[in-house]
Structure 1
Amino acid sequence: MVLSLNPSTTTSLITIGREQRFRTQKIIKAELNTVIKQARLGNIRPFVKLQWPTVHLDDWQWDILESLFNPTIRRVFVKGNTGCGKGAAAGIACCIYYHIWNDAKIIITRDSMKMAQKIAFGEVDKWWRQMSFKPPGNLLVSGVYDNKQHSISLANPKHIEGFRGSHSPHVFFWFDEATAPNLEDKYKLANTQAKKFLALSNPSTLAGTFRDSFPIESPDKTQTIVDQYGKTRCITVSGWDCTNVKQKCLEQPVSPIGGIKIAGTFYPHGAPISKEHFNQCQQIIPGQTCYDEFIALLNDADPLIRNVYALGKFPDQDPNRQIIIPDWLVAPTKLWNRWHHLWIRANRDRHESALKLLERILPVEGFGLDVAASKYGDTSVLAVGGRNGIRAIHECQFSDTQQTMWWVLETAFSYGIDLKQGHVPIAIDWGGGYGNAVGDPLKRLNVHVIEVHGNATSALDPQKYANKRAELYGETGRRLDPAGDFRMIPFSLPDIQTLRAELIAPIKIYSGHDGEKYYITPKDRRGADENYMGKTLREILGRSPDRADAVVYCLYALRDQRRRRLIVA
């Protein structure tokens, strides 16, 4: 039997369907407009639930989103363990920001243009395609374009142009892998234009703008701080904060370190897991690190791997950026302490045999002097040492540089050395404005003075060292490296905490894109490049690194003396 409808009935049904669709679209449009207004005010959750109704986000991912859309917070810095899902939160944030502001200009960058397109923009592309209601604009291979004032684009870190000219009430910069050396000079430009700024990275560095944006005290604590840009949210993500880790989801059907209990059955480490039980351990958040991956990193023998890549903490040392690694100072200070009793007997009791033995073990063959002019500020520091190490550090405070000069002569004479004979060199910093006030009179007394000009071109390796100061610290690092060229020649250093802190503080600042030639952290603002955004050594330490400077000057005097002897020979 065929049921037929007259034309008027068919028309009525079509009209009813159109009206229902129109009412549904009107309701949806009204709801979308409502959640957009809420998102602009900082209430982001309704918008996320409408656009991605099935998404599962961790609490710290909500923290990123809510901080970015909080009207009182301008910048968000996020460090976390490997594979936690920082990029996913950033991709969602870009899609939201683009949608809720019709004049949003979003600029994404990373360590390379290729990785910015593949990894960072890949997250935007992924979440854009999953949006229930697409915003206006065309999704392209490397961006989204609606019009000149409404777009998502990539900035090439090799060129500065992509970080200029982004003028709009709603400019959003996203720096992925934000510790990359070639992004350092881009932060300043981005911060001058950004309404919102997001930086993500593994915390594998001790220096740079990313590290400096976290507080010195408790840098691994999630907190909101107030800095020159207003409020900055600093978020730390540990593997323990990830849902897949909390729920003990597994990547492989093999029991992880420490074993695992599933549905009442315990599997010891390395045991295969049955298919039934493995199905109960599937990932809750696709792509996020799982329990077995996290536990493997957490049990790595290298503390850098454990702290940085498992727990999201800043490292105690950074082999790629630090010139002198803290571990390199352990053996030299132990060696110095071993002979310290001789130093006490030789200097306090003037014990003749102790003096002779000490002179054989730690001969005095050169001096390094860092000059200060104030009686109440920094001290003048004299490092005394030879081929086997630094024997002692002496300090004084005189307002008169003539007094400092005579103090140097008297201190050297206490080691049985008459500097006026011109045989033993003393290297003096000439760049601070006070070194020549001591050095020139010493020269007139026939003292072998070596001038140190920190900003001069390196004569030793100009392809590696951007200036003399980088060379001085770089060569000191070579001398102390237990796996380096001098590994078979022991070296001692005074066990002084302030000296240790000053030696490990300078960080490499790469001056080119090849990652080879570098400057080091400037002492103070007077000696810093105008584009330098990081903390100076004085700001990091709370003082000038005078003791470390005196030590590197002393080693430079010794190298210069040896070089002169080779030339004469």
Structure 2
Amino acid sequence: METLIELEQLQRIHGLQQDDSEIEAAIRQAQAGQIRPYVEIQWPEVILDDWQWDILKSLFDLTIRRVFVKGNTGCGKGAAAGIACCAYFHIWDDAKIIITRDSVRTAQKVAFGEVDKWWRKMRFKPPGKLLTSGVFDTNQHSISLANPQHIEGFRGAHSPHVLFWFDEATAPNLEDKYKLANTQAKKFLALSNPSTLSGAFRDSFPIVDPDQTQTILDQYGKTRCITVSGWECTNVKEKCLEQPVAPIGGIEIAGTFYSHGSSIAADDFELAQPRIPGQTCYDEFMALLNDADPLIRNVYALGKFPDQDPDKQVILPDWLVEPVQFWTRWNRLYLRAQEQSHIFALKLLDQILPVEGFGLDVAASRHGDTSVLAVGGRYGIRAVHECQFSDTQQTMCWALETAIAYGVDLKQGVIPLAIDWGGGYGNAVGDPLKKQRVNVIEIRGNASSDVDPKKYANKRAELYGEAGRRLDPAGDFRMMPFALPDNQRLKAELVAPEKIYSGHDGEKFYITPKGRRGSDANYNGKTLHEILGRSPDRADAVVYCLYALRHQHRRQLIVA
């Protein structure tokens, strides 16, 4: 009996020694960039999708510094990140891992919750004590949370192996933390649903084919950009179900077809149980994929960046489709009538799109930005003219001559001309025009809104916000057609500004500043000049023109 006990003890010791040598070999492989053996030893029962392996392999690839992941709802991004943190902490005895999110509470509950879950499932525990909000071994070997409300947690993480994990990385209060984290990080991981058009997370993906998984080169070296569609999830591919009800399109289980909405037999439902617990299932995915809102379909089902963001953009790209089509039809008819000298047709078309106001954005010189004159009326913008002159006198003469071409003598003081007074160049043109009795309307972008000061934080936000109201096909002016020239630069400039909320009620907003000069010192996002590569002169001229029309209409009402 004693011999048998001793034999069992020897076998157990031998097994432990074998296991120790096996995990040590896996750690050495992971340090060299081969993470798969380590994961398979630590979590032998885990089932990971190919894209989850991609995250892990990329994070442990010695040539890749940053990994950005966007994907559909509930795909399992956090699970891969939790495994990665546990593994990174174990294989490097000087690893410092910092986890952050939109709030420290959700970081603890959600992000660190994944670390906690996978830590408890590890066959071979690393050194260190698992706490409620981190793991502590030594001052140089820890996992901690960083509060996004303060910058201290994003500084001072000096170590050869610092890993930052930004969960829900599109949160606005994380924007100014990216640069700080990247000065410390040796590895950087950011996860999010791609529900944004701008910001540090969006900018880290390429402009061309941002929804294609790829490795790119940027100022930090190699960055792996991973996009996860619901179709790539195991539970979706194998048509696993969350509820015993057939999803949209129906489903076949064990030779029996169930039409949409029909109840699934208990035995068949048992066969359709999720392969990966917690991952989105086929019925949930199909519901999102068939949503009427394209934003839900593309972002939350397919993991793609949106074409537009109703919560942030002041003017949506979709709102420009019908105005451009209206202008294109009108312009084609006008040019034909002009070629054939149809006087009656020209007069009729002038009534369809009359000239009732002008908007002028004045540039500084012959180099750089252009001066832009928008010509329009209550039914739309008839044309956008551009010029570059060496002095403001030439710009003034050009504006007067262009108006004459539309049968308007601005010196009569009837038709208004709105000019931006804030840049220092508008008054150089506007003051001489006033002396010639031109009806000049001064626009100061930083002035208070006189339309809705509870909604618009300044005049510039009002200009674009009210232009958006006029263009919104479901808004107050939906029964009135509106024309916009088919000008690609104009369209890009109109949709570029985003709301920057300033009030506690989530209503009052500024918009994206034009440039660094004059912008809020606390603003950390990209300016319009940085986004577009130029100043939004065409869009500015258009919103000035619309303001001139509104201002003139109000003045007529007061006089009447």
TM normalised by structure 1 equals 0.89
Q: Distance in 2 between matches of 1:510 and 1:148?
A: 40
Greater alpha carbon shift after TM alignment, 214-223 vs 331-340: 331-340
Deviations 1:143-165 (A, max 9, x none): 22333333222233333343333
- Aligned position for 1:546: 537
- Aligned position for 2:25: 34
The residue type equivalent to 2:154 in the other structure is: F
Contact 1:42 1:70 in 2 (8 A): yes
Contact 1:237 1:311 in 2 (8 A): yes
- Aligned position for 2:47: 56
Deviations 1:153-206 (A, max 9, x none): 223333334333333332222222222222222222222222221111111221
Contact 1:250 1:290 in 2 (8 A): yes
SS at match of 1:107: strand
Greater alpha carbon shift after TM alignment, 241-250 vs 59-68: 241-250
- Aligned position for 1:381: 372
Residues 568 and 103 of structure 1: is their aligned pair in 2 closer, same or farther, counting only changes over 3 Å? farther
Deviations 1:399-440 (A, max 9, x none): 343222111001112223222233332222344554344334
SS at match of 2:466: helix
Paired residue total: 560
- Aligned position for 1:263: 254
The residue type equivalent to 2:212 in the other structure is: K
- Aligned position for 2:90: 99
Greater alpha carbon shift after TM alignment, 173-182 vs 416-425: 416-425
**RMSD (CA atoms):** 2.9
Say whether 1:477 aligns with 2:468: yes
Q: Distance in 1 between matches of 2:493 and 2:531?
A: 10
- Aligned position for 1:450: 441
Deviations 1:252-276 (A, max 9, x none): 2233222223333333333333333
The residue type equivalent to 2:22 in the other structure is: E
SS at match of 2:381: strand
Contact 1:212 1:534 in 2 (8 A): no
- Aligned position for 1:81: 72
Q: Distance in 2 between matches of 1:183 and 1:482?
A: 34
- Aligned position for 1:506: 497
SS at match of 1:339: helix
Deviation at residue 367 of structure 1 after TM alignment: 1.1
The residue type equivalent to 1:388 in the other structure is: Y
Say whether 1:242 aligns with 2:233: yes
The residue type equivalent to 1:57 in the other structure is: L
Say whether 1:167 aligns with 2:124: no
- Aligned position for 1:370: 361
Say whether 1:213 aligns with 2:204: yes
- Aligned position for 2:144: 153
Residues 440 and 230 of structure 1: is their aligned pair in 2 closer, same or farther, counting only changes over 3 Å? farther
Residues 113 and 457 of structure 1: is their aligned pair in 2 closer, same or farther, counting only changes over 3 Å? farther
Residue identity over aligned pairs, in percent, reads 76
Residues 514 and 137 of structure 1: is their aligned pair in 2 closer, same or farther, counting only changes over 3 Å? farther
Say whether 1:316 aligns with 2:307: yes
Greater alpha carbon shift after TM alignment, 237-246 vs 541-550: 541-550
For structure 1, the residue ranges without an aligned partner over 5 or more in a row are none
Contact 1:185 1:531 in 2 (8 A): no
Q: Distance in 1 between matches of 2:506 and 2:163?
A: 28
Equivalent in 264, 273, 280 of residue 289 of structure 1: 280
Q: Distance in 2 between matches of 1:215 and 1:535?
A: 16
Residues 369 and 44 of structure 1: is their aligned pair in 2 closer, same or farther, counting only changes over 3 Å? same
Residues 404 and 77 of structure 1: is their aligned pair in 2 closer, same or farther, counting only changes over 3 Å? same
Equivalent in 391, 400, 403 of residue 412 of structure 1: 403
Contact 1:181 1:510 in 2 (8 A): no
- Aligned position for 2:123: 132
TM normalised by structure 2 equals 0.90
Q: Distance in 2 between matches of 1:42 and 1:453?
A: 57
SS at match of 1:226: strand
Say whether 1:187 aligns with 2:178: yes
Deviation at residue 345 of structure 1 after TM alignment: 6.2
SS at match of 2:323: helix
Deviation at residue 104 of structure 1 after TM alignment: 2.4
The residue type equivalent to 1:557 in the other structure is: A
Deviation at residue 89 of structure 1 after TM alignment: 0.6
Equivalent in 290, 307, 316 of residue 325 of structure 1: 316
Residues 115 and 512 of structure 1: is their aligned pair in 2 closer, same or farther, counting only changes over 3 Å? farther
Equivalent in 206, 213, 223 of residue 222 of structure 1: 213
- Aligned position for 1:111: 102
The residue type equivalent to 1:224 in the other structure is: T
SS at match of 1:29: helix
The residue type equivalent to 1:36 in the other structure is: I
Q: Distance in 2 between matches of 1:56 and 1:122?
A: 19
Q: Distance in 2 between matches of 1:197 and 1:75?
A: 5
Deviation at residue 126 of structure 1 after TM alignment: 1.1
Deviations 1:304-341 (A, max 9, x none): 22211111111222111211112212232333344335
Contact 1:369 1:380 in 2 (8 A): yes
For structure 2, the residue ranges without an aligned partner over 5 or more in a row are none
Deviation at residue 355 of structure 1 after TM alignment: 4.8
Say whether 1:72 aligns with 2:63: yes
Residues 386 and 221 of structure 1: is their aligned pair in 2 closer, same or farther, counting only changes over 3 Å? same
Deviation at residue 547 of structure 1 after TM alignment: 1.7
Alignment of 1:512-531 (within 5 A): 515-524=506-515
Residues 184 and 457 of structure 1: is their aligned pair in 2 closer, same or farther, counting only changes over 3 Å? farther
Greater alpha carbon shift after TM alignment, 546-555 vs 347-356: 347-356
